[in-house]
């Protein structure tokens, strides 16, 4: 990258979005100051420890720090001083009514407003509803400052890869020159650049997640139908995936979709639709179908225990919302587990990212946490696989069988080989699989 393309960038918020974004922009050659107000997070970063689990993130951060292109501060005001671009990467949790809570975006904008360099470009990377760029512009209240929407499409667990090699870069601005400047920050990637207005850009982000969620609801519902008609969902989905218009991505049935984005963003889009009086019943159906999927999985566990889990000891493998992350926000695995506990089961749970010796976090109260998958299986009436951690495939199932009270597996991720575990003497139930 030539020297004249090096830009000074501030990133506000060192979370799942801000940290990979800052490290990637530093990798592209820009000079990046990352602001994080949470002391423990900042302290960890300063000694090279990553506050989140992300493959390759430690190396990318270390590279930026060693090159002097990535520095950290606890002050958003310090970060924006001297910055030509300011990326807002703060959290937008869900409010009680399903809409996105913009209070962090608003307070960050207020805090930096009078400290921004003349003509600085504020880039909104947090997931925000349609109309938020103009809200931020109003909060900042300066005619020389443009607010640009540049949504992120990072998946947890592969965020580094996704930000180094994005499928596309979307930039929404009502000022075409500002949009072009933001696009140039990413010129080292060969990703297609979509330049549009802010409203369209903000809609693209929600539309992507709502589409993925709807695709998964379809896949899960289809797997349910396969069970009823006696078809094998695995082969049905193979047959679908080879059609290039459908593709293999997001075609794996599971206990329902979750995580910090899909549930929140689908509800927020539905909320936006209802605000403008638009009947988006298809999306409402996808959300309802996802709740139904959790119930179907609970029903499978009940069936595996002879009709009821009341008083039963169950082994659970996996609590995070998907593999390769330590995130349990809106985790379908955890929702299934809590329903099982409500129905009277004792749940012995193992997850590679949960330390049973540490203080029990609030979302895991009521569970018996175990330090390895075999311990979790001891005296269990059924083993329930809820997150697709690859290591579960390679365990010693003879040892699992020996410690369980009943040889029963409910595999809510279709992770295991049904024929292999059946040969060993297990009863096996997957999702849509014979």
> How many CA atoms lie within 13 Å of 306's alpha carbon, on the beta-carbon side?
7
CB atoms within 10 A of CB 140: 21
Structural tokens at position 383:
């083993």
Catalytic residue among 89, 226, 261, 305: 261
124 binds ligand UDX (CB under 6 A): no
Q: Terminus-to-terminus CA distance in the chain, angstroms?
A: 55
142 versus 155: smaller Cβ distance to ligand UDX: 155
Strands 169-172 and 31-35, sheet pairing: unpaired
Instruction: Please choose, out of 108-116, 185-193, 250-258, 336-344, the segment that lies near ligand UDX by the rule CB under 6 A.
Output: 250-258
31 versus 324: smaller Cβ distance to ligand UDX: 324
Q: Where are the alpha helices (DSSP H) in 315-360?
A: 332-342
Could you give the string, one character per residue 134-173, with x where binding to ligand UDX holds by CB under 6 A and - elsewhere? Answer: ------------------xxxxx-----------------
Position with the least CB separation from ligand UDX: 261
321 binds ligand UDX (CB under 6 A): yes
Find the shortest distance in angstroms from Cβ 398 to ligand UDX. Answer: 29
Find the shortest distance in angstroms from Cβ 158 to ligand UDX. Answer: 8
Q: 3-class SS at 85?
A: strand
Provide DSSP, 111-171. Answer: HHGGGSPTT-EEEE-S---TTHHHHHHHHH--TT-EEEE----PPTTSHHHHHHS-S-EEE
18 versus 29: smaller Cβ distance to ligand UDX: 18
Find the shortest distance in angstroms from Cβ 383 to ligand UDX. Answer: 19
Structural tokens at position 399:
């040892």
Placement of tokens 């996802």 in the chain: 290
Could you give the string, one character per residue 181-220, with x where binding to ligand UDX holds by CB under 6 A and - elsewhere? Answer: ----------------------------x--x---x----
153 versus 280: smaller Cβ distance to ligand UDX: 153
Sorted by sequence, the CB contacts under 8 Å of residue 22 that are 6+ apart come out as 9, 11, 14, 32, 34, 64, 70, 87, 89
Query: 218 - beta bridge partners?
Result: none
d(CA 183, CA 28): 13
Could you give the string, one character per residue 322-361, with x where binding to ligand UDX holds by CB under 6 A and - elsewhere? Answer: x---------x-----------------------------
Question: According to CB under 6 A, which residues from 387 to 416 bind ligand UDX?
Answer: none
**Catalytic status, residue 305:** no
Q: Where are the alpha helices (DSSP H) in 276-350?
A: 281-304, 332-342
Question: According to CB under 6 A, which residues from 254 to 283 bind ligand UDX?
Answer: 254, 257-262
Structural tokens at position 183:
């696009």
Find the shortest distance in angstroms from Cβ 229 to ligand UDX. Answer: 22
Where do contacts with ligand UDX occur on this chain (CB under 6 A)? Answer: 152-156, 209, 212, 216, 250-252, 254, 257-262, 321-322, 332
Residues labelled as active-site residues: 261
């Amino acid at each position: 990258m030539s020297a004249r393309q090096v830009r000074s960038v501030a990133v506000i918020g060192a979370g799942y979005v801000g940290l990979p974004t800052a490290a990637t922009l530093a990798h592209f050659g820009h000079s990046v100051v990352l602001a994080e107000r949470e002391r423990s997070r900042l302290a960890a970063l300063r000694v090279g420890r990553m506050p989140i689990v992300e493959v390759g993130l430690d190396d990318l951060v270390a590279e930026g720090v060693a090159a002097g292109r990535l520095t950290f501060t606890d002050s958003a005001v310090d970060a924006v001083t001297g910055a030509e671009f300011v990326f807002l990467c703060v959290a937008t949790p869900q409010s009680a009514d399903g809409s996105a809570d913009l209070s962090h975006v608003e307070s960050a904008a207020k805090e930096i407003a009078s400290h921004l360099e003349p003509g600085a470009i504020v880039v909104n990377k947090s997931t925000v509803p349609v109309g938020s760029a103009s809200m931020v512009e109003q909060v900042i209240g300066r005619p020389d400052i443009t607010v640009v929407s540049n949504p992120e499409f990072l998946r947890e667990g592969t965020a580094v890869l996704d930000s180094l090699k994005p499928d596309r870069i979307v930039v929404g601005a009502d000022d075409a020159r500002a949009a072009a400047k933001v696009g140039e920050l990413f010129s080292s990637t060969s990703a297609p650049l979509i330049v549009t207005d802010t409203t369209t850009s903000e809609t693209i982000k929600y539309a992507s997640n709502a589409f993925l969620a709807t695709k998964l609801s379809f896949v899960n519902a289809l797997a349910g139908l396969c069970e009823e008609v006696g078809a094998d969902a695995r082969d049905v989905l193979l047959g679908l995936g080879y059609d290039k218009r459908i593709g293999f991505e997001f075609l794996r049935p599971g206990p329902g979709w979750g995580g910090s984005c899909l549930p929140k963003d689908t509800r927020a889009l539905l909320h936006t639709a209802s605000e403008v009086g638009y009947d988006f019943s298809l999306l409402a159906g996808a959300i309802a179908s996802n709740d139904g999927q959790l119930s179907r999985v609970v029903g499978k566990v009940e069936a595996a225990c002879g009709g009821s889990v009341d008083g039963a000891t169950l082994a659970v493998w996996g609590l995070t919302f998907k593999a390769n992350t330590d995130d349990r926000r809106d985790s379908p695995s955890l929702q299934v587990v809590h329903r099982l506990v409500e129905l009277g089961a004792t749940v012995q749970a193992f997850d590679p990212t949960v330390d049973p010796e540490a203080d029990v976090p609030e979302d895991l109260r009521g569970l018996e946490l175990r330090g390895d998958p075999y311990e979790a299986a001891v005296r269990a009436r059924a083993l329930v696989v809820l997150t697709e951690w690859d290591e579960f495939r390679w365990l010693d199932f003879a040892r699992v069988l020996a410690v369980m009270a009943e040889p029963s597996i409910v595999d809510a991720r279709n992770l295991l080989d049904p024929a292999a575990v059946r040969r060993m003497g297990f009863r096996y139930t997957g999702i849509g699989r014979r």
